[in-house]
Structures are given as structure tokens and as C-alpha cells.
Structure 1
Amino acid sequence: MSKFLCDIVTPEKELFSEEINFVVVPGSEGEIGLLAQHAPTVSTLKMGEIRLKMEADSETESYLVNGGYVEAIGTKVVVLASRAEKVGNTDIAEVKAKKAEAEAKLSKVEEEDSRAAFYREEVAWYTFMETLLQRKQ
């Protein structure tokens, strides 16, 4: 199986840049699986899990993203994420504490539009991360 370069980048830093065999990203219209030499593709991303396969027989490495874009051209895939974190770098107790803190802050936000935005950015993020970590255990 041919390999290709995959980069995962946020506004703060480059999180991942390695050759891999396969990647699945959470496209806004559904999951997109990409192999080397995939037809040129550009898509928006929704909150979800990016799954990377380094070798055909290796375990999957996961990243949580909170929206962004993916571009696949020839032998390169670039994920530009507004927020991303490697699943497994954080323990579940820390995620639960951050989720509880976000929920407490949410209760103090008064404007409805601001509440919805805060929920999407913080509470939903930690809820999704908690779910992924529980699934990986």
C-alpha cells in the first residue's frame, strides 16, 4: 500500500506530519476515507475524530478536531483545524474536570447566541473527548 504525507495543523502549531497509509476525517457531509493518489478533494470538517493508520497492521492514532478543512492532492493530505488534540494525550479525569468547569461557565453566559457558541466550543468539545477516551479504554 502506498504511503502519503499527512499534516494536521492548527492556528497554534503543527500537531502531526508523517507518512501514513490511510486517514479518515469527519467531513461536514460524512466521513471521508483517503488513500494515496486520492482524487483531488477539498472539504469542510465538523467536530469529530481523525483516524490515522501508519502501517497496514498498526493501531489507529486518533485526533479530535473541532471543525476546519481538509485538502487531498496526490501524495499529500492537509488538515487545517480550528482546534485539535491528540486522543490519548489527556487522561479522562482531566477531561471530566474541564467539562464540569465549562458547564459551570456556561450557566453564567446570559445571551442565547453566546451560550450556543460557548456550548459548541467548550462543552461539546470536552463531551466528545470524554466519549473518545472512554471508547479507547
Structure 2
Amino acid sequence: MAEHTLTVSIVTPDGVIYSQDTAKLVVLNTLSGNVGVMANHQPIVSALKIDDVKIKLVDDKEQHVAVNGGFAEFSNNTMTIVADSAETPDHIDLARAQAAQQRAQEHISHANEVHDPNELARAEVALARAVNRIRIVTGGK
């Protein structure tokens, strides 16, 4: 079975957020689009968008991790994801994520009113992160 599995590690400056050695599929949202990686896939390095990483295990359970950008590297049946921040559903505070979403939407409105492209860009990133965290917890897409 080992030749049909891959090891997945998600690392942030705070340390290892996720580690699993019985994955059979990892789906990433890269800057070039969605990529599915299975055991023995050709080596890749790719920048990631703010989105969830889907990990399908050999027992067909699916796990999700909210990743805020970063990059993924796959070789020798090991997927390593390095991100500024990442969270598993059990570590996400839904109320806090919803409050962050509300604040980001308010900042977007303000940035549009004052025509501040820098504030708008920051607010859009904050909104994407909050929405990503909410989707992970609620199972929505």
C-alpha cells in the first residue's frame, strides 16, 4: 500500500500544522488552477492561492486545511506546503472568522469610497482569508 500513498505536511512559521502519511490524493488551488496530486506524480513546485487544501486519505475520508497562500512542493511521494498561515477546521473560531469577514467588507466599502487601491487590495485579501476559514468550518464552498 505504501507505493500508492503520499505524505503531506503543512508548515507555517508556527510549526507543523498538519501531517499525514496515508494520503492518496491532494487537491491544491494554485495560481495556474486546481491541481490533483497522487502517489508517484511528477515533481512539482507551485504557488498557492488562498483556499482550502483537500486531502483524501486511503480510507476515503477527506480532510481540509485552510491555507493562506504559500507554495507547495511535491517529490518522492512527499507533499510539503509552506504558508504564512494555515488552519485545520478544529482550530478555526467561526465567530471570529465571521467578524473578520464583516470588518473586511466594511474596509472594502471604505476603500471604494475614498478610492484607495492599496486599502482595497488589503481588504480583499482579508476577505478572502475570512471566507476561506468560514468555508472550511461550515463545509461550504
1:50 aligns with 2:53: yes
* 3-state secondary structure, aligned to 1:16: strand
User: Take 2:86 and 2:115, find their aligned partners in 1: how far apart are those partners?
Assistant: 27
Q: Secondary structure at the match of 1:38?
A: coil
CA contact (8 A) 2:52 2:132 kept: no
C-alpha RMSD over aligned residues: 2.3
- Per-residue deviation, 1:50: 0.2
After superposition, what is the alpha-carbon deviation per residue over 1:43-95, rounded to whole angstroms, capped at 9, x for unaligned?
A: 111111101122233x2110111211111102211111122111343243332
Q: Sort the Cα spacing of 1:4 and 1:131 in 2 relative to 1 into closer, same or farther, 3 A.
A: closer
More displaced stretch, 68-77 vs 90-99: 90-99
**Deviation at 1:105?**
5.2
The corresponding residue for 1:75 is 77
Gaps of 5+ in 1: none
Residue 6 in structure 1 maps to residue 38 in structure 2 = no
> Which structure 2 residue ranges, 5 or more long, are not aligned?
none
Closer, same or farther: CA 111–11 of 1 in aligned 2, 3 Å: farther
**Separation of aligned partners in 2, 1:82 and 1:112:** 25
Question: Conserved in 1, the CA contact under 8 Å of 2:107 and 2:123?
Answer: no
Q: Give the counterpart of 1:34 among 21, 34, 37.
A: 37
Residue 129 (str. 1) matches residue 133 (str. 2)? yes
The percentage of aligned residue pairs carrying the same residue is 25
Deviates more, 1:45-54 or 1:120-129: 120-129
TM-score between the two structures when normalised by the length of structure 2: 0.79
Instruction: Tell me the TM-score normalised to structure 1 length.
Output: 0.81
The structure with more strand, counted as a fraction of residues: 1
Which secondary structure does the structure 1 equivalent of 2:49 belong to?
strand
Please state which structure has a larger fraction of its residues in helix: 2
Structure 1 equivalent of residue 118 of structure 2: 114
| Distance in 2 separating the partners of 1:56 and 1:92 | 28
The alignment covers a number of residue pairs equal to 135
